[in-house]
């Protein structure tokens, strides 16, 4: 009657391990995933919904996904599709919600790292969606091949969008009055 006990314990331990590793992954990354989507969409509720749905699926398949080269890459990719589908559905239902894209402008330079992040996100949302996604990932330190794979685009496109996004951000910074003084850079 003690024969089955060890195997049950192994399975239970494996489940508990998965649960703990997912929980840690989730806690570590959930803010970053949200931030990534927020670089492309100003609707926080929509973003949260897409992130949560993605993570629930990730939890379901965690045994498999946790073995990926970088599980976060899969989460980014999947969350972005969820968001895009949800946006498309909303547009079909009520095109009126497209109306107001708030153009947030800062009068004073950001005072801390959080404000700087928010400023960056608001600027990225004024860029073409793909350029914003490329820049947001590059900014987090993902390599060009990784970005191309996460976003499903050509390698050349990543390079091209990275510089286009930077040019546009510089323009937006200058519009807001943030210009580089002559420092011999």
Partner 1 sequence: MTVDLDDILAMAASHKPTVFERASASRNTRWVQQQYTRAKAEGRDLVGDVDLHDPLRGDTGEVRRITRAAQLAKQGTVRWDAATGELTWSDEMSLILGRPPGAVRQTLDALYGLTHPDDAHRVRQAATAAWLGRTATELTCRVVQPAGITRWVHFYIEVLTGDGGEPTGIIGTARDVTELELARREHERRARRRAIVERASGGLGPRDGLRDRTAFSDEIDRSRRTGTGVLLVVATEQGGGTEPQGGTDSERLSDVVATFIMKLARRNDICGVLGPGEFGVLMPDIGLRPATSLAHTIVERLRGQLFVAGPHGLRLDAWGGLVRFEAYDESSSIDLLIDAESAWRHAKETGALLKALPRPAPADERQEAWRTRVRAAVAGNGFTLYTQPILDLRLNQITRQEILLRTLNDAGNPVPPSPLLDIAEHVDETLPIDLWVMDNAFELIAQGPPTPHYQINLSGRSLGDPGLLGRVQDLLHKHDVDPRRITFEITETARIDNRSEAMYFARTIRELGCQLALDDFGAAYSSFIYLKSFPIDLVKIDGAFITDIVNSPTDQALVRSIVEACQAHGVLTAAEYVRDAATIELLRGFGVDFAQGYEVGPPMPIAGAPASSGTSIEFDLRLDSPA
Helix extents (H) in the chain: 5-38, 44-60, 62-65, 71-93, 113-124, 129-139, 144-151, 155-175
Which residues lie near partner 1 (CB under 8 A)? 19, 22-23, 26-28, 30-31, 48, 51-52, 55-57, 59-61, 64-65, 68-70, 73-74, 77-78, 81, 84-85, 91-92, 95-96, 98-99, 109-110, 112-114, 116-117, 119-120, 128, 130, 139, 146, 148-157, 160-161, 164, 169-170, 173, 178-181
3 or 27: whose CB is closer to partner 1?
27
DSSP 97: G
Residue 3 or residue 155: which is nearer to partner 1 going by CB? 155
In angstroms, give the least distance from the CB of 76 to partner 1. 8
Count of other CB atoms within 10 angstroms of residue 20? 10
CB of 14 to partner 1, least distance (A): 17
Are the beta carbons of 80 and 63 closer than 8 angstroms?
no
Whose Cβ is closer to partner 1: residue 3's or residue 92's? 92
Two structure tokens written together for 134 = 């490329």
How far apart are CB 6 and partner 1 at their closest, in Å?
Answer: 26
> Nearest approach, Cβ of 105 to partner 1 (angstroms)?
14
Which DSSP symbol is given to 77? H
Distances, alpha carbon 144 to alpha carbons 91, 129, 166, in Å:
31, 17, 15
CB 124 within 8 A of CB 117: no
> CB of residue 4 vs partner 1: minimum separation in angstroms?
24
């Amino acid at each position: 009657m003690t024969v089955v006990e060890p195997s049950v314990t192994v399975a239970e331990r494996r489940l508990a391990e998965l649960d703990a590793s997912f929980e840690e992954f989730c806690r570590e990354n959930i803010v970053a995933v949200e931030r990534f989507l927020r670089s492309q969409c100003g609707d926080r509720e929509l973003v949260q919904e897409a992130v949560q749905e993605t993570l629930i699926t990730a939890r379901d398949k965690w045994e498999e996904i946790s073995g990926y080269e970088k599980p976060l890459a899969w989460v980014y990719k999947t969350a972005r599709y969820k968001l895009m589908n949800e946006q498309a559905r909303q547009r079909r239902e009520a095109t009126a919600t497209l109306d107001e894209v708030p153009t947030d402008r800062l009068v004073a330079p950001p005072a801390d790292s959080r404000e700087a992040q928010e400023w960056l996100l608001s600027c990225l949302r004024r860029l073409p969606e793909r350029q914003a996604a490329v820049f947001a990932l590059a900014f987090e330190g993902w390599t060009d091949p990784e970005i191309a794979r996460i976003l499903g685009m050509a390698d050349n496109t990543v390079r091209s969008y990275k510089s286009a996004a930077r040019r546009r951000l510089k323009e937006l910074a200058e519009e807001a009055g943030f210009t580089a003084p002559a420092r011999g850079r």
